[in-house]
Structure 1
C-alpha cells in the first residue's frame, strides 16, 4: 500500500520540478518575465499548500484512500489543460489544478507511516519514501529535456498525465483502509469534519508550533526553488549550458537527492540531538547559496547544487521532529500543517525570487546573485526562529 501511495508522490515530484526544464521554452512561447516565470512555478505550490488543511481533515475523517483517490484526478485534468493551453492564464489554471490533485500525495504517505509504523521507524521509513519519490525528479531531468527538444514542452505535460492515470489505477487497486488499533483509532472514528477544523486552533496555541513552521517554510522551498525553477535558467544564461546539458545536471542533482532522505533517516540521532542536526544542516545549505551568489563559476555552482541535493535529505528529520512534537490523535492535522507551511513557503519563495530577479535586472544587478542571496537570507531567518523560539516540551 505504501508503495502504491508513493507512486502519486513521485508524480507530484515530477510536476513540481518540471519548471526548471520548461522555463526556457515557456519564456520564448509566452514571452514571460522572470516574475511571471516565478508565478508559474509557484502556482502549483500555492494550491498544494493551501489545500493541506483540508487534506489533513479529509484523511482524519474520511481516510487515506478516499482522500487521495478523489483529489488526484485533478492533476490529470490540470496536466492536459496545461498541455493544450494557448494563453498564460490558462497555463496557470492548469498548474493550480495539478497542485490540488497532488495536495495529498506525500501527506497520505507520512500519515500512513505515522499510524502504522512504530515511532522509532518513522524517520527511516519516511526517508525511504522520500528517496523513492525522488524518482519523479529523475523524469524532469534529461528525459524531459530530451522530450522537449524532440517534440515540445506540451509533450511533457501529456506524458505526466498518462503516468498520473496509471498511478491512480494502482492506488485504486492496492490501497485499502487498514484498521487502526487502540483508543487513537476510536477517537479518529468519532471525529467530525467541523471538530477537525476547530482542532487546528489547538496546534497554533502550542508555543513550539511557530518555530517548526518558520523552518518548514524555507528548507524544502530553497531546494525546490533551485532544482525546480532556477537551475535551468541559471546554467543556461549564467554559464551558457544547453538545455540538455542543464537537464543532465538536474538529473544528477535528483539522483544525489534520492540518497539524502534514506541516509538521514538511517542516521537519525533521536529526539535528544535531532533538532541540533537540523540546525547545522540548514546553516550549511544557506552557506552554499551565499557561495553561489557571490562566487559565480560553473564548477562552484554545479558542486553546490549537488551538495544541496544530498543535504536536502535532512528534511526527513524535520518530519520526525514534527511527528514527535504532537500527540498521536493530532498526527494527521499536525503533518498537514507542517506540509502546508512547506509548500506555501515554496510558492512564496518562487514568486518572491522571481520578483527579486526582475527588480535586479531592472537595476543592472546580476539577477541570479540576487535570487541566490535572497534564498540564503530566508534560510537564515527560518533557522534562527527554529533555534531560538520555544521547543516542544516532550516527545510523543
Structure 2
C-alpha cells in the first residue's frame, strides 16, 4: 500500500489508510456529500410549490436553483488553498456549519430574495463536501481505491438526488417544505459528527530540505492554469458536465411538466428514476474503472468515445419534444456520466501537494457551468417565449443552444493534444 517517496512528492508523503479506516472515512464523507446533493437537487421537486407560492417565472426559478451553484463556485479557489494547508477535516466542518445556517434561513424565507440568499449560503456551505473528500483520498488511498472512491462518491450523490424526489414529494403534504429544511439541517449536523469522529487529522508537511523544494507551499493557481491537460478538459467541464448537472437537478423536471404534460407527482417520479439510473451508473463505474484504466482505457479515452453518444441522445430528446419523458433524460444523464471520470484524472495529473487546488479549480469550472446553464436556460426559455414561440418550442430552442455549446466544447477537447501525466 505504501508508495516510494520521490523528490517530487517528498513534501506530501501519502499516509495510506488500512481497509477498515478507509471505509469509515469514505462513509463519513459520503454522508456529508449525500446531504449536499439532496440540497442541490431539491429545487426541481419543490419547483411547482415555489413557483406558485412566490409567483416565479422560468428565469426566476433558474436563478433560484443556480444561486446554490453561485455560492458553491464562489468558494472554490480559497477552498483549494485551505484544503492543502489545513486538511479536509478542519475545512469541511467549518463549511458545513454554514450549510446548517442556510437550511434554517431557507425555511424562514418570506420572499424570493430571502430564498435566493439562503440558496447562495447553502451552496457555500456544502462547497467543500466533494473536494475535501477527494483531497483526502488523493493522500490516503492508492490509485485503484481512489478511482473507485471517486465513482462511489458520485453514486452517493445520486442517492442524495434520489432522496430529493419522491421522498420529498411524499413528505411535503405531511410536514410542509419549511419544516423539511429543519430536518435537512439536522442531517447535516449528524454528518458533521461522523466526520469529526472518523476522519483523521491532516499531517502537516515537513519543512523543505535544500534538495527538496517546498512544493506544498507553492503559491496561487499558476501551475493549475498553465496545465495543458486542465485547459483541455475545462470547456467540457463547463458546458457538457455542468449542463448535464443543470438538467438533472432542475430542467428535467420543468420539461416533464411544461413540455411533456406530466403532473408534479409524475415529474417527481421521473426525477426519481433519473437519479436511480445515475446511482446504478456511478456504482458500475466504480467497479469497472480500475480495470479499464489497467487495460488501456484511461479517462481521456473514455471521454472521447462517450461524449458524442451523450450529444446524440440530447439531439434526439430535443427533436422528440413532448414525447421525451424521464427515460430520455435518464439516458442523456447516464451517457454524460463519463464526464465524472475527468475529476480524478485532473487530480492525479498534479502532485499531491497541489491536489486541493487542482480539484477545487476544476470544480469551480464545473459549477460555474451549472450556474450558467441553470439560469441561462431559464433566460432562453423566457426569451424564446417572448418572441412568440410556444412553451414546448421555447424549451426545445433553449436546449438547442446548449447542444451547440456542448458540441463546440467537445471539438476543442479533441483538438488539444495533452495527457494527464503528473505536472
TM-score, structure 1 normalization: 0.91
Q: 1:312 and 1:160 mapped to 2: Cα distance?
A: 29
The answer to whether the 8 Å contact 1:127/1:313 transfers is no
Larger Rg: 2
The answer to whether the 8 Å contact 1:287/1:376 transfers is no
Over 3 Å counting, the alpha-carbon distance change for 1:312 and 1:262 in structure 2 is farther
Structure-to-structure mapping, 1:43-58, within 5 angstroms? 43-58=67-82
Q: 1:393 and 1:77 mapped to 2: Cα distance?
A: 39
Question: What corresponds to 1:72 in structure 2?
Answer: 96
Q: 2:368 and 2:401 mapped to 1: Cα distance?
A: 17
Q: 1:188 and 1:149 mapped to 2: Cα distance?
A: 60
Q: 1:177 and 1:161 mapped to 2: Cα distance?
A: 25
Residue 369 (structure 1) aligned to one of 384, 396, 399: 396
Question: What corresponds to 1:229 in structure 2?
Answer: 250
Residue 180 of structure 1: how far off its partner (Å): 8.1
Counterpart check, 1:356 vs 2:356: no
Q: 1:262 and 1:41 mapped to 2: Cα distance?
A: 27
Counterpart check, 1:287 vs 2:308: no
Over 3 Å counting, the alpha-carbon distance change for 1:166 and 1:121 in structure 2 is closer
Residue 308 of structure 1: how far off its partner (Å): 2.6
TM-score, structure 2 normalization: 0.86
The answer to whether the 8 Å contact 2:104/2:185 transfers is yes
Q: 1:108 and 1:153 mapped to 2: Cα distance?
A: 29
Question: What corresponds to 1:278 in structure 2?
Answer: 303
Counterpart check, 1:32 vs 2:56: yes
Question: What corresponds to 1:218 in structure 2?
Answer: 239
Residue 372 of structure 1: how far off its partner (Å): 2.2
The answer to whether the 8 Å contact 1:259/1:310 transfers is no
Residue 393 of structure 1: how far off its partner (Å): 6.5
Q: 2:51 and 2:213 mapped to 1: Cα distance?
A: 48
Question: What corresponds to 1:382 in structure 2?
Answer: 409
Question: What corresponds to 1:238 in structure 2?
Answer: 259
1:195-244 residue CA offsets vs partner (Å, 9 max, x unmatched)? 54x2x012112233222111111233222211211122111122222212
Over 3 Å counting, the alpha-carbon distance change for 1:201 and 1:142 in structure 2 is same
Q: 2:267 and 2:325 mapped to 1: Cα distance?
A: 12
Specify every segment of 5 or more residues in structure 2 that has no aligned partner in the other structure, as ranges: 1-24
Q: 1:189 and 1:303 mapped to 2: Cα distance?
A: 51
The answer to whether the 8 Å contact 1:260/1:309 transfers is no
Residue 137 (structure 1) aligned to one of 135, 150, 161: 161
Residue 183 of structure 1: how far off its partner (Å): 9.4
1:160-181 residue CA offsets vs partner (Å, 9 max, x unmatched)? 2221122112222222225489
Q: 1:21 and 1:219 mapped to 2: Cα distance?
A: 23
Residue 229 (structure 2) aligned to one of 208, 218, 223: 208
Over 3 Å counting, the alpha-carbon distance change for 1:48 and 1:339 in structure 2 is same
Residue 283 (structure 2) aligned to one of 251, 254, 262: 262
Q: 1:341 and 1:393 mapped to 2: Cα distance?
A: 18
